[in-house]
Structure 1
Amino acid sequence: MKTEKWAIVTLSQDGVALAKRLAEHLDDRECHIYTKEKYANETTKIITTDISTFMGSISGAYQIICCIMATGIVVRAIAPHLKHKSSDPGILVMDTKGAFVISLLSGHLGGANDAARLVAKRLSAQAVITTGTDVKGTMAVDVLAQKIKCAIDDFTAAKDVTALILNGDPIALVNRENCDLDAVILPKNIETVADLTELTKYLGVIITTLDTKKAELPIPSVKLVPRKLVLGVGCRRDTPGERIIAAIQETLASLNLNVKGIKSLATIGLKAEEAGIIEACAFFAAKKVIIPNEMVQMVQSRFEGSDFVFKTTGLYAVSEPCGFVASGFGKCLREKQKLGGITLSVWLDEN
């Protein structure tokens, strides 16, 4: 697992002293301290632009940005660079005495709430957390999604259902995809039910599903999409990424499967640096999995082979063996599709 990266940003001498102390207490994180040149020392990096430009330049490089300065400065500095709660970093604000640590932005998905609690514990400070579900000791939809490793299909729908949870209204959870709930303590007003026919006493519903079909329900609903789809991918050399992306979208649409459920794209070592596959992985936020030739050779007899593929790769098949292995020998949802120099197969990772 990658080490979490923190930026600690300050604009004062007292702030630098606190930043150094904080970094020492976060030795299990990768911390970089930033400040203006006149306060810099051997432990810091220098801010060479105005604070707003600087905040924009680092917002994609760190999971957590802890600002030791006035809250107003931070709000004005980050405002032009905010995109969406699903992608913005967690932002913390601390006073220069280290008495308080505020979870300012991306408390749930960005991890700022947990980060604030961590800083408070290690520096004996007071965490300031204002998200409604945390204040009431309940759970937002985005937190539940994070805990069971799902993507949120529609953030507006998630907001509507979270409001019902916060209000104490009865909510049904239909776990169609058998997501692991063992380690999750659900609020008392969220109950698991077997299917969508049992909703008479509920005012909202959360559904774990890969299905894109719209459920016509009389109450607000939100879909949580588990990352369980593995695509075996083969392609001709230099196939453009946009063509691979379009092929994946079309294939999953034909199966009524949500692209947010893509976990990984699997291929062979010969295609490890194929720019189009790398671009597709980035587009779908999917992991690139390289299957060794030896593993492909062990299972390729299960699938239709090609002499042409053998001549170019030394293997009789690529897409299906790779998807089969990468999914943990999972269920095939779509056998190999030939799409103009691209081959795709779709698998369900049920591990």
Structure 2
Amino acid sequence: MAVSRQGVQKALEVKEHIPEKAPDIFTLEKYAAPGTQMIRGKIGEFFKTLMADYDTVLCIMATGIVVRSIAPHLGHKSKDPGILVMDPDGKYVISLLSGHLGHANENAVYLAKRMDAQHVITTGTDVKGSMAVDVLAEKLGCTIADFTAAKDVTALILDDEPVAVVNAENCDTTGLVLPPNLVFSEKKGALSGDYSGCVVVSADDPFIWPPGRPVVQIVPKKFVIGIGCRRNTEAARIEEAVRQVLAALALHPLSVKAFATIGLKADERGIHAACKTFDAELKVVPDDFVKMVQSRFEGSDFVFKTTGLYAVSEPCGYVASGFGECLLEKQKCGGITLSVWKMKE
């Protein structure tokens, strides 16, 4: 997004240097040029649209304009897009917002290299060459359960305090390099006086940990919900049914990686809403894949008449989990059928 003639020229130059990203360029009508699109309405309101539609927004303009424009539209660090600021001369690329979870830091470095510019990063752990809890969580494929706790533990890491990492879910740590004061430990060791805080990789809900020092739970997203439902089932009913099956397994709601269903149900608004609520993706399993494995599961003539398949929830969950482990066979919840699967490593 650029709001000056010089800024538009720099935006077009950026586009040439990062063709694999295929960026869209927005500017004011008076600065329109081939390859650009119009900013609709007031700049401040248009930022709201950009922040909802894009993962990263590069603003080629004064930092003050950007700060005032994005402020009313900020939500949470787990959801806000990465915001970058570049001066019209292209000398600096500033990581302004969502440096970690929004990937603004890595994109600032990436863009600066492409444009022969200087990246500007101010997050403490990055400046120090350390690692924040949110970065560790992302590298392990996890989600933070409590951002306040994450902030407290990150402060310990930044202060060079010893912090234990308890990998209770055996997440793959291949290639993961931790700063010296972040140490993998068994639970028993983490409870000793050797550590000032802990990061615990756990899908447990409720999460119970002895009090006494800062602890943050990061939840691995490694479970798939196989789902079938009647047409136009309300989102609230689906979400409540999912909560019930997760509670039965003592699994955290954030541990859901995906919902899996058939093509016939791919447009169900209730399922899409549930995906959003549980921060999960939707995997649509082709009918041919379902037919290949449905004989493994109890079938239904009624389901066959409706879908052309004898089962939906279990074969979809089985396929989408990479032929993983079934933790809960299909549960019928008043027109909703659910099964729970642990993804195969």
TM-score bucket (shorter structure)? over 0.9
Whole-angstrom CA distance in 2 between matches of 1:12 and 1:38: 9
Q: Distance in 1 between matches of 2:5 and 2:304?
A: 65
1:305 corresponds to 2:282: no
Q: In the alignment, which residue of structure 2 is the partner of 1:317?
A: 311
1:1-351 alignment runs, 5 A limit: 9-200=1-192, 201-217=194-210, 218-351=212-345
Q: Is the 8 A contact 1:19 1:33 kept in 2?
A: yes
Does the 8 Å CA contact 1:231/1:265 hold for their aligned counterparts? yes
Distance 1:237 1:311 in 2: 14
Q: In 1, Cα distance between the equivalents of 2:85 and 2:302?
A: 60
Unaligned residue ranges in structure 2 (runs of 5+): none
1:31 counterpart SS class:
coil
- Could you tell me whether the CA contact under 8 Å between 2:227 and 2:339 is conserved in 1? yes
TM-score of the superposition, structure 1-length normalised?
A: 0.93
Cα-to-partner distance string for 1:191-240 (whole Å, 9 max, x where unaligned): 11122454311111111111112323221111111111111111122212
SS at 1:290's partner residue? strand
When residues 20 and 332 of structure 1 are mapped into structure 2, their CA distance, relative to the original with a 3 A threshold, is: same
Task: Tell me if structure 2 keeps the 8 A contact 1:174–1:196.
Answer: no
Q: Distance in 2 between matches of 1:187 and 1:243?
A: 45
Match of 1:4 in 2: none
Give how far 1:69 is off: 1.4
Once the two structures are superposed, what CA deviation does each residue of 1:155-204 show, in whole Å capped at 9, x if it has no partner?
A: 11111110000000001111111111112110110111122454311111
Q: Distance in 1 between matches of 2:293 and 2:115?
A: 54
307 and 103 in structure 1: CA distance in 2 versus 1, 3 angstrom threshold: same
Count residues in correspondence.
Answer: 343
Q: Mean alpha-carbon deviation: is it higher for 21-30 or for 278-287?
A: 278-287
Q: Which runs of 5+ in 1 are unaligned?
A: 1-8
Change (3 A) 1:170 1:41: same
The verdict on how the C-alpha distance between 1:289 and 1:187 changes in structure 2, with shifts beyond 3 A counting, is same
State the distance in 1 between where 2:17 and 2:153 align.
38
Shift of residue 94, structure 1, vs aligned partner? 1.4
The alignment's TM-score, normalised by the length of structure 2, stands at: 0.95
Cα gap change, 1:97 to 1:199, in 2 (>3 Å): same
Looking at structure 2, the residues matched to 137 and 197 of structure 1 have their Cα atoms a distance apart, in angstroms, of 26
Q: For the structure 1 residues 45 and 297, does the alpha-carbon distance in structure 2 shift closer, same or farther, using more than 3 Å as the test?
A: closer
Distance 1:314 1:11 in 2: 55
> Given residue 333 of structure 2, which amino acid in structure 1 is its aligned partner?
L
CA contact (8 A) 1:235 1:341 kept: yes
Q: Which deviates further from its counterpart, 67-76 or 262-271?
A: 262-271
2:23 alignment partner, SS class = strand
Task: After superposing the two structures, state which structure 1 stretch, 42-51 or 106-115, moved more.
Answer: 42-51
CA shift in 2, pair 1:339/1:165, >3 Å = same
Deviation track 1:119-155 (CA, whole Å, cap 9, x = no partner) reads 2111111111100001100000111111121111111
SS in 1 for 2:171: coil
Structure 1 pair 41–224 and aligned structure 2 pair: CA distance change class (3 A): same
Q: In 1, Cα distance between the equivalents of 2:40 and 2:229?
A: 45
Query: Separation in 1 of the partners of 2:291 and 2:31?
Result: 60
For 1:196 and 1:333, locate their aligned partners in 2 and report how far apart those are by CA, in whole Å: 27
Shifted more, 230-239 versus 44-53: the winner is: 44-53
Letter in 1 for 2:78: S
